Chain A
Amino acid sequence: MKAEQRQFVEGLMELLAKRTPAISDGRAEVAFREHVMSKWDQLVWRLAGVAAWEARQMDAGQLAQLRVLEDHPSLLHPLGKTHDELAHTTILAWLLADSSPLGVAAREALVRLIGVDVPLDDWRVTPERVLSNGRRVDLEIDVPGKWLCYIEAKVDAEEGTNQLPDYAASLSVTGAGRDHPPTLVYLTVEGRKGRSGAQPITFRDLLIAWLPIAASFTGDRATYLSCWLVTLAEDLYEVSMPGPFHTWPFATQRRSLDLMRDIKEAR
């Protein structure tokens, strides 16, 4: 740790010591045991009732989205690849390269998510793109003359040494002189605050952006998209389970209801 970092930490600890009241006894814990833990079953039962009530309040669109999660199997689970970055980015590339109405809707939702507005046609999407500096980025979206975007995805692995700065440097050269500034997207499970000029998004953000699309299209593409979104929902975030909503544990129901609320707010 550098000297200025140590100085910052010590200053912060000093500040926190001044403002945090010392915990002098275990009264809060005793009260928690007495008033909450002793009635735990009752509380869970009531909360489950609230979840069922909330589920009944969903509008037709939200019910259709919930049905996507109830009715489709996880795409990557049987392959044992639920945490395989390459499998996820290959599906992303397949979806974004698709110029059908569903693919264009997915592109539109993605650019909205990352806060840029670029043309939605003539996207050239390349997974595992090798850059001039020898690095390999998970996904390149090249809209000639208009916009260049790199997406780096992490499921379990950590960011490599200087990985994002190297991508940013390459992007600033290759993507310069186009209509729109280049974008570096850092796609992770848990979300990380932006560094190295990268735009952080999560797989949950994609779930929020694309579940309404999966629910409003039919056909093979929509089925594949639905099954991949179920992989995200079941295997990365535990916001759904196989089978109908009413059979899911309370915690899963709660997470799925929060997801439905976030989808509604994002639209």
Chain B
Amino acid sequence: MDTVSDIFAFVLNHGVVAEEVVFHDGDEPLPGLTEDEAQAISDIEPHLEKSWIALLSACREALWALADGHPSTPSVRHRKQQKGKMFEWDEVRIPLHTGHKAHCGFALTAWGADQYHLYIWVWVHRDHLKIAEEAVADLGLDIWRNEHGSFLMTLPTPQQGERIDALAASAADHLWSFARPISDAVHNHIEANS
């Protein structure tokens, strides 16, 4: 899968409505669908699963490439998340520290919004939150925080015809721009205190 298909883009551009219809919970399809519509929706799910996995695994590959040679390299390839879980969980997680004091990842999720977005994030253990905050303070990036201490950035919704490898490379570049300084700060902090 090289590019974002029309169906994939259509679903991504309909966010929570697409989620309610296509990924409806339970064994029965959403009430109100005709038999043909229910069948058509069921038929596109394998394509969507492949698309989700293609994009998120390409993001992971691109991040791995960026992290090559960096002190976090042994950890980023550690505990490789299964590809099937990228679709079920809407995200791929990548450790930034073998002691699991920091993780990062890519999420393709709606989070209740009108569109799916590609989100990039770094989570650090609360012992290292302050140094992580300092590490990104002067980067001038549009990073927001959630209640669990993650640093997040929202990227645009992938559109039909966009190349998967280009989207992944760009997302990985953005993520590495703040994951790397955070990772460095956490590693240095742990080494200095060990």
B87 touches A193 (CB 8 A): yes
Interface residue count for B (Cβ, 8 Å)? 41
For chain A, the bracket of interface size reads 20 to 34
Chain A nearest CB, measured from B18 CB (Å): 6
B7 touches A5 (CB 8 A): no
Q: C-beta contact mask, B1-29 vs A, less than 8 Å → 1, else 0?
A: 00000110011001001111101011100
B79 touches A112 (CB 8 A): yes
A1 touches B82 (CB 8 A): no
When A115-B89, A194-B88, A194-B90 are in contact, do A1 and B17 touch as well, CB less than 8 Å? no
CA distance A266 to B81 in the complex (A): 8
Q: C-beta contact mask, A117-161 vs B, less than 8 Å → 1, else 0?
A: 100000000000000000000000000000000000000001100
Q: C-beta contact mask, B146-164 vs A, less than 8 Å → 1, else 0?
A: 0111000000000000000
CA distance A180 to B1 in the complex (A): 36
CA distance A217 to B90 in the complex (A): 35
B79 touches A13 (CB 8 A): no
A115 touches B148 (CB 8 A): no
Chain B residue nearest in CB terms to A192: B25
Chain B nearest CB, measured from A267 CB (Å): 10
Task: Name 22 A/B residue pairs within 8 A (Cβ), A-sorted.
Answer: A1-B30, A1-B31, A1-B32, A5-B20, A6-B32, A8-B14, A8-B17, A8-B21, A9-B33, A12-B21, A12-B41, A15-B6, A115-B93, A158-B26, A176-B147, A179-B126, A181-B123, A181-B148, A193-B87, A195-B19, A195-B25, A265-B82
Nearest first, the 7 closest Cβ-Cβ pairs linking A and B are: A1-B32, A117-B100, A181-B148, A193-B23, A8-B17, A4-B17, A200-B88
